[in-house]
Amino acid sequence: MQQKITPMLWYDDQAERAAELYVSVFSERPGAANAVGPSKILSVSRYGEAGPGEPGSAMTVEFTLEGQVFTGLNAGPEFRFTEAISFVVTCEDQEEVDYFWERLTADGGEESQCGWLKDRFGLSWQIVPRQFNELASDPDPAKSQAVVKTMLGMTKLDIAELQRAYDNA
């Protein structure tokens, strides 16, 4: 079944490099053999003589991450990514949190707070351990609020620290 809604990501001229990075990050992650779907570049359409991009440069890049289809568009510098849009990566353990954090902040990415980061292309990601959602939604408000308060003081999320806040509430 074809995906009905596909996120379109606007880049100045880095869509192909971004897709290559994202595909490699998701293909090489711990547990990638158990992925929901493949991570791969599906197609690249290139600008011709009519432009507006350089002839032969990528116009659009269609790719999948864990089976989710995305399209990257090289359309110039008019628009930039903001934190108003981000992708949440749910991680199974601290090893996976660390992996995504390191790979997506490498080579010019930026750490933010509360599990947020920007990759080197300016796209925002939230790297969130599955356990955070479980602990933060506990019906006991003292426990859930302790977890959220601890998370608010973090950059990269630390599962053990979140668990300690929960246990000590």
Instruction: Specify the pLDDT at position 33.
Output: 76
As averages over each run of 10 residues, the pLDDT of the chain (169 residues) reads 90 97 94 82 96 93 96 96 96 97 98 98 98 97 98 98 97
- What CATH number does residue 146 fall under? 3.10.180.10
34 and 46 housed in the same domain: yes
- Where does a domain end: 56, 79, 102? 79
75 and 89 housed in the same domain: no
39-60 residues labelled b (16+ CB within 10 A) or e (exposed): beeeebeebeeeeebeeeebbb
Instruction: Specify the pLDDT at position 128.
Output: 98
Do residues 133 and 145 make contact, with C-beta atoms less than 8 angstroms apart?
no
Instruction: Specify the pLDDT at position 35.
Output: 77
64 and 147 housed in the same domain: no
125 and 149 housed in the same domain: yes
Number of domains within the chain: 2
- What CATH number does residue 53 fall under? 3.30.720.100
First to last CA, the chain: 46
30 and 90 housed in the same domain: no
Alpha-carbon gap, residue 84 to 82, rounded angstroms: 5
| Whole-prediction pTM | 0.93
- Where does a domain end: 52, 79, 106? 79
Domain span at residue 143 reads: 81-169
Instruction: Specify the pLDDT at position 2.
Output: 76
**Residue given tokens 């032969």 in the structure block:** 56
Instruction: Specify the pLDDT at position 1.
Output: 63
